[in-house]
Amino acid sequence: MKKEVRLEFLLVTMILAATPGWSAPGDNRLSGQWPQWRGPEGRGLSRETGFATEWSAAKNIKWKTEIPGSGHSSPVVWGDHIFLTTSIKGEPVPGGREAPVHLDFSHNPGYLHPDAVGIDSFHRVETLAIHAKTGKILWKQMSYEGLMSDDHHKSNNYASSTVVTDGKLVYAFFESLGLYAYDFKGKLKWKSSVGDVIKAGLGPGTSPILFEKLIILQCDQEMGKGSFITALDKTTGKPVWRAERKNRRSWATPLLVKAGDRYELVTAGAESVTAYDPATGKELWKANGTESHPIPSPVAAPNLVILTAGSQAKRALAIRTGGTGDLTNSDAVVWRHDKGTAYVASPVVHGDYLYLVSDAGIFTCLNAATGEVVYEGGRVPLPARIRASLVAFEDKLLVTSDEGASFVIRAGPKFEVLATNSLEESVWASPALSRGTIFIRGAKHLFAIQAPANSGADLGPALAVTQDGRKETGQ
C-alpha cells in the first residue's frame, strides 16, 4: 500500500473511532467504504465517480474469485478487505430434526410452504475476507456447523444476511445461528445468540446495522408472536436493550435517519411502520404498515422515510419523520402508491426521484416528495427476474437480474437504458460500490468490475482465483 493511501486510511479510521455516530446518515467520512447492507447510509447510493458502465465476462473484469457454497449476502468493503458469508450444504440427516410448527395467515398451526427445504441436511456457514485489490481469499472462518433450526425457501439459503463492519470488527449475523464478531485477521472476538428466529421455513435475510456502540438486529418472525428488535454492545455482544414487536415475519433491514436533532431507527412491518430511539429502544412513533411481508428495505428522502413491499399487496408509502405516538392514518403518511413495487428488490432515492423496479424489470419513477408519477413502464431490454436491489452512482442506476444481466439506467425523469452487460452467471446479491470498483457476487464467483485507468491502459485478461488460492488467467 502506498504511503499516502495508508495515511489516508489511518486518518479515516481514527476519525471514525473518535466519532460515536459514524454510521449516521450523511457522514462523508466514509467515502470509499461500503461498510454495510446498501452502503454507507444503507440507501444504495454512492457519492463516488468513475465506475465502469460496460462489462462482460471478458471485459473490465479486474478479477473474479470462486466463492465456496452459496449465499445471497452482499459484499461489504472496508479498505482492502471485502467480507462475505456463505452456506455449504452437507449430507442429509434423515430424522435429524423436524421443522417448527408454522402458522398460516389465520394463525392456524400446520402451515408448510411448498418450497421449504434444508432442515433435513447438515450445513456449515462461513464468514470470509477477500483482498479487494487481488481477489485472494485472506481467511475464512466456520461460524456454525450442524443442523438448522428451520427450513429455507429453495431460492434462499442460510447466508442471506449481509455483514456490517466498523473498520475494527466485522459482524456476521445468521439469525437463529447467532451473531459473530471477527477482527480483520479472522479471529473470533465474541459470539452471541438471540435465540431462534423462525420465518415459516423461508430462511433469513435481515442484516445488522451499527449505531454508536451498538449493533442492532430486527428479528420479526412467524405471525408476530416472539418478534423483537434488539441492540447489543458491539465490543462484547452483551444485550443493551430489547423491544418486543407484534409484526409478522419480515426480511427488511432497518434504516437510520436524522430527524431534527435526533436519530430515528425506522423498521418496516406489514402491520405497522415503527420508529425507535436507536440508543434506548424506546418507541418514538408508529404509522401505517406495508400490508405485504416487508422484504425490501426502507429508503429516505428529505424529512421522509419510504417503505415498499410487493408480496400480497403492491405498496409504496412515504411517512414524515420526526413524529410522536400513533400516526396511523394521519397526515404523517404523505403519499401512497399501489403499483410497481418489488417482492424482494429494494428501491433507491437519487436526487428528487424514487426509483422502483418490479420483479420483471419494469421501472417506475416517482417524485420522492409527492409520490407523483414521473414515468412508469420503463422496461429493461431482456427478459428478467429481479431480486438484487437497486444502487445508484453519478447520474446512473444499476440493477442486476437473476440471469446475471446488469442494466445501467440513466437517472432522471426519462427512462433510458445506457448499457446492458452480462457476467454469464446468475446473480441474486446486490452490488457494492467502492473506490471505483463495482463488486458483484454471482452464484459461483465474486467479480471486481473496474473501468480502465484514465490513461487508457488495458487491464489485461481477467484474473480468476480458485478456492485454494491458485490464480488462473481468464478468457
Among the candidates 207, 237, 261, a domain finishes at 207
Among the candidates 146, 174, 207, a domain finishes at 207
**Is the domain of 62 the same as that of 112?**
no
Q: Both ends of the chain: CA-CA distance in Å?
A: 28
C-alpha cell at 28: 462523508
The range of the structural domain enclosing residue 126 comes to 71-207
**Is the domain of 57 the same as that of 147?**
no
What residues have CB less than 8 Å from 1, skipping those under 6 apart?
9, 80
CATH code for the domain of 147: 2.40.10.480
**Is the domain of 107 the same as that of 142?**
yes
* Residue 455 within any structural domain of the chain: yes
C-alpha cell at 157: 439459503
With 0-12 CB in 10 A as exposed, 13-18 as middle and 19+ as buried, what is 128? buried
Check residue 244 and report its DSSP letter.
E
C-alpha cell at 331: 397526515
With 0-12 CB in 10 A as exposed, 13-18 as middle and 19+ as buried, what is 77? buried
**Is the domain of 466 the same as that of 426?**
yes
Which pLDDT belongs to residue 94? 81
Which pLDDT belongs to residue 81? 98
Question: Which tens digit of pLDDT belongs to each residue from 50-107?
Answer: 999 999 999 999 999 999 999 999 999 999 999 999 999 999 988 778 899 999 999 9
Q: Which helix (H) or strand (E) holds 25?
A: none
Q: What is the pTM of this model?
A: 0.90
**Is the domain of 179 the same as that of 64?**
no
Question: Which tens digit of pLDDT belongs to each residue from 303-326?
Answer: 999 999 999 889 999 999 999 999
CATH code for the domain of 409: 2.40.128
Count the domains in the chain. 2
Which pLDDT belongs to residue 453? 62
* Residue 123 within any structural domain of the chain: yes
* Residue 267 within any structural domain of the chain: no
For the cut 80, the answer to whether the pLDDT of residue 266 exceeds it is yes
